[in-house]
A = this chain, B = another copy of it.
Amino acid sequence: MKRAIYPGSFDPVTYGHIDIIKRASEIFDELIVAVLCNKAKTPLFSVDERVNILNEVLHDLPNIRIVSYEGLLVDFAVANNANVIVRGLRAVTDFEYELQLAQTNNVLNKGVDTVFLTTSLKYAYLSSSTVREVASYGGDIAKFVPPLVEKLTYEKFGIECNRRV
């Protein structure tokens, strides 16, 4: 059985992430969506909130599991018997950073490989930080995130969800 890990911050999850998750869940037998608990940064949503949102938004995908992790990704992968890391690729600067990460992880543990999926064209330039910035000004994020995430993100910025209707 092929088990893969899709790690990320998901702060918040976007349609771009969901696209990668759906496609990866068709390629692998089981997919672990791993929410990074990065203590250095101040996230918009707590790790628990992000895990809950992902569980809501992805509940119709049978072969995925959502967990949080901290520490080295390769250690987490080994502890979960996963030998593949899945990453989405958007653009050149992404690519260089991802290459560096994949090579470092491979040096740290030869048994864990990284595969890349390219983000679908319509989400090619979407990122969580764009969502946060647009939402902070009350801009329309309905094309970037599912309705639940839209509502919760506006709430974080003290904006009523149907403000723009």
Over the window 96-107 of chain A, the binary record of Cβ atoms lying under 8 Å from chain B Cβ atoms (1 yes, 0 no) is 110110111011
Chain B residues with CB under 8 A of A140: 108
Query: Is residue A55 within 8 Å, beta carbon to beta carbon, of the partner chain?
Result: no
6 CB contacts below 8 A, A to B, read: A71-B137, A89-B116, A93-B97, A99-B125, A103-B121, A121-B121
Total copies of this chain within the assembly: 6
Known: A93-B93, A95-B92, A96-B91. A103 touches B115 (CB 8 A): no
Interface positions of A from 43 to 76, Cβ below 8 Å from B: 71-72, 74-75
| Tally of A interface residues using CB under 8 Å | 47
Interface positions of A from 96 to 145, Cβ below 8 Å from B: 96-97, 99-100, 102-104, 106-108, 113-118, 120-122, 124-127, 130, 134, 137, 139-140, 143-144
Chain B residues with CB under 8 A of A26: 83, 113
Q: Which residues does A use to contact B, with CB under 8 Å? A: 2, 23, 26-29, 71-72, 74-75, 83-84, 89, 91-93, 95-97, 99-100, 102-104, 106-108, 113-118, 120-122, 124-127, 130, 134, 137, 139-140, 143-144
